[in-house]
Amino acid sequence: MFKGSITALITPFKNGEVDEEGFQSFVDWQINEGSHGVVPVGTTGESPTLNHDEHKRVVELCIDVAKGRVPVIAGAGSNSTEEAVDFTKHAKAAGADGVLHVCPYYNKPTQEGLYLHFKEIAECADIPVIIYNIPGRSVVDMSNETMAKLSKLPNIAGVKDATCDLARPLNSRLECEEGFVQLSGEDATIGAFLGQGGDGCISVTSNVAPKLCSEMHEAWQARDLDGFAERRDRLAPLHDALFCETSPAPVKYAAHLLGKSDPKCRLPIAPLSEQGQETVRKAMVKVGLIN
C-alpha cells in the first residue's frame, strides 16, 4: 500500500491561520501530479506548532480531498504516549490509511521505552503504523533489534528512515518481518536507499516537484534505470536547496514561487533569508520548475 513518492505535506497559512482552502487545493494538485501518497501534519507540515484542534482538522481536510485516490498517512506522533494514542484514534476515525509516529523526542526513552510506546500505539486502533526514526531531531535512535521486535506486532507496518545510514534499509530488510515497508526520509539519498531494499520516500522535495518525483519512483519500479537516473540527477540540486536552512522554510518559499502557498512558517522557524531565497530560486530554475 505504501510505496513510491509520498509527499510530506506543507501546511499553508493565511493571516496566521491554517489556509484550509489553499491546503485542500494543494493536496488535490499533489494527487493530480502523480504523488503516490500524502502525509499531513508531519514535521514538514509544522506539527510542532499546530495546536491539537488544528492538527486534527488538517488530517480531516486531507482525507476529505484525497477521497481514497491515494493513501493518507496522518502524522500522529508525540513524545507523550497518551497524546500519540489520541491522535491515532482520531486518524482512524477520520478515515486515514495509516499513521506516522516519530520516536519520542526530548524524553530520550530507552529501547524498551520505545518498544512499549509503539506497542501501545499499535494496540489502540486497527490502523497501519509507520515508525519515524530521525535521531537528528528526536535525539534517540531506534535500534534494528527494537525495530525487528516491533515488526512482529500487528499494525506495525514499516519505517520512515531518516538516519542517513544506508546500511539500515538492507539490515532492516533482513531482520524485520516480511512485508515491513521501508520509506526513506532523506530525498538526497533515495537512489541508494532504494538500491538497498527500500520501497519509497516520504518526500519534502515532492511538495514542489511531485510529477518528477513520482516519475522517478515509477521508473525505478519498472526497472527503467536510465529514466530513473535522469530524474534522480535532475532533482539533486533541489534536494540540497530545500534544506539550505531549517525546514520547512525553504520548501514553503519554493511552493510560494509556484503560487501554491504563503511562504511564512510559524515561529520559531524563521523566514527564509535573502541568501536562502536566492539558493532556492536558482535550484527551481535549474530543475525547470520556474523560469
Residues with catalytic roles: 132, 160
CA dihedral for 230, 231, 235, 239, sign (positive or negative):
negative
First-last CA distance in the chain: 36
Report yes or no: 150 and 123 within 8 Å, Cβ to Cβ. no
Cell 495546536 -> residue: 51
Bridge partner residues of 73 (DSSP): 98
What DSSP designation does 72 have? Answer: B
Pair type for strands 17-18 and 98-102: unpaired
Bridge partner residues of 183 (DSSP): 160, 200
What are the backbone angles phi and psi of residue 230, rounded to the nearest 5°? Answer: -60, -45
Q: Measure Cα distances from 101 to 66, 132, 189, 267 in Å.
A: 21, 5, 22, 23
Cell 538497498 -> residue: 196
Alpha helices in the chain (DSSP H): 20-32, 52-66, 81-94, 111-124, 135-138, 144-151, 168-175, 190-195, 210-221, 225-241, 249-257, 274-287
